[in-house]
Amino acid sequence: MRKEERLAREITELLGGPSNIAALESCMTRLRVKPIDESKVDLAGIKKVDGVLGVVEAETLQVILGPGIVTKVAAEVSALTGKSVSSVDEDEVEDFSFEGLADRTKSDLKKKNATPFKLFLRKIASIFIPLIPAIVASGLIAGLTNVIIRSGANPESTFIQILDLIGWGLFGYLAIFVGINTAKEFGGSPALGGAAGILIINPGLANITLFGDALVPGRGGLIGVMLAAAFIAFLEKRIRKVVPSAVDIIVTPTVSLLITGFATLLILQPVGGFVSDLITEGLLGLIDMGGFFAGLILAGTFLPLVVTGLHQGLTPVHMELINTIGNDPLLPILAMGGAGQVGAAFAIYFKTKNQRLRKVIKGGLPVGILGIGEPLIFGVTLPLGRPFITACLGAAVGGAFQAVFKTATIAIGVSGIPLAFLMDDGQILLYLAGVLIAYVFGFIFTWMFGFNEEMAKDI
């Protein structure tokens, strides 16, 4: 039996069987499941399944499997349950039994305890998570092209121009994808969201003058796009309620787009530009003035954000920095969070005699070095407790180094070693030096006071 098939069968059984799964999703590292009856789920059993790196209890039950394998397992679970990946069948979730009422009450309490800021970041993260594969691939190709050019290749050659086209193409039209996903997230038509995105980046804006000032294509960036797409989704739903069904397909989208077009140019784009300037200037000021201490705090506190999955909500911030100043000094600092985890994991691996723990670390280290830290976080440092803190301390030292030397990327992508290809001119070695520093201090802090064998007995 193939590994992914075995994992799917064992996980499905411990989730209470195929009939207990109401919805199924997968992201880069996690299989997200919505059980009908949570009391039937054997959480302790799932955590002990060979190949499972950890479990997170949130709005959905999230089983950490790691990149690559998670999509294969999701497909197998989909085949076992008959649920398509990312489908949600609300009718089947509804359960009026006593147990079902208790489950819904628990779910309601979770929602009440969520802060507005966390809910906001989750909303933003949901817009960008589906775009991650394309952003990572495009960013890496763009970075490699950049390295090849710096190595002496002719930037006017056909081969380099083709690479440039492949790597940077997505970023030129990212606003459309963000508009589509934003409209979906707010309950509108994806195509109208894409049209709202085009309103922000359309080169024709440069030919229009409002109140004595020429409009600027791209002004407001992805923040403006999200405002416009959310607005058109809001309008569409309201207009549809009063438009007769016979003419809905014509009237609703036309009126929605027309109103959104004027509202975007007059209000939403300027507001997006103001918010964008506020964020970018604030962050740049913090990094410039805070220097060492800013890097220390930003990198040292980033991993708790990763634990909640809210770190994807920072994607528009990274993009605004690149659009505004041409590079992103925040990403190298935050990337040290994963590097600190790697150093801590190495320390635990060399110190522990627990074979299961060593096996989990051995599986998580390669992807951790390549910039995906969730397997190490949820499979190793977070369950152990103290190593998670020492990993954050190691990350803080690496982040301080990146801030002091003002390293920055020219695009966004995964952290770890691959991010070196995206570094600004002459900064590859500086960035890698910061990564090594985070490794070393994560290792030292964990070795000295972050781990003892007693901690591993329940793993």
> Checking phi first, is residue 33 left (phi over 0); if not, alpha (psi -120 to 50) or beta?
beta
CA atoms within 13 A on the CB side of 394: 34
Per-residue pLDDT band at 458 (split at 50, 70, 90)? low
Percentage of the chain surpassing pLDDT 70? 92
For 127-141, what is each residue's pLDDT tens digit?
A: 888 888 898 889 889
* Joined tokens for residue 78: 């989909």
Alpha helix locations (H) across 291-381? 292-300, 302-308, 315-325, 330-334, 336-351, 355-369, 374-376
Per-residue pLDDT band at 239 (split at 50, 70, 90)? very high
8-17, 298-307, 375-384, 450-459: the lowest-pLDDT one? 450-459
Partners of 209 in the β-ladder: 214
For 302-349, what is each residue's pLDDT tens digit?
A: 988 887 666 777 888 888 898 888 899 999 999 999 999 999 999 999
How far, in whole angstroms, is CA 19 from its chain's centroid?
A: 30
Element (H, E) at 285: helix 269-290
As a whole number, mean pLDDT of residues 149-175 equals 91
Does 27 participate in catalysis according to the annotation? yes
Between 27 and 71, where is the model more confident?
71
Alpha-carbon torsion (172, 177, 180, 182), positive or negative: negative
* Joined tokens for residue 302: 């980033």
User: Contact 58/74 with Cβ under 8 angstroms?
Assistant: no
Residue 114: its pLDDT value, please? 61
Residue 100: its pLDDT value, please? 40
Residue 38: its pLDDT value, please? 86
Residue 103: its pLDDT value, please? 43
Between 84 and 237, where is the model more confident?
237
Residue 87: its pLDDT value, please? 39
As a whole number, mean pLDDT of residues 155-183 equals 93
For 433-443, what is each residue's pLDDT tens digit?
A: 999 999 999 99
Residue 115: its pLDDT value, please? 67
User: Contact 423/410 with Cβ under 8 angstroms?
Assistant: yes
Between 100 and 277, where is the model more confident?
277
Cα–Cα nearest to 336, from 449, 447, 441, 426: 441
State the catalytic residue, choosing from 11, 22, 23, 27. Answer: 27
Residue 124: its pLDDT value, please? 83
Kindly tell me if the per-residue pLDDT of 88 is higher than 60: no
* Joined tokens for residue 238: 């309201």
Contacts of 336 (CB under 8 A, 6+ apart): 299, 302, 395, 396, 397, 398, 399, 402, 434, 435, 438
Q: Distance between the two ends of the chain, CA-based, in angstroms?
A: 26
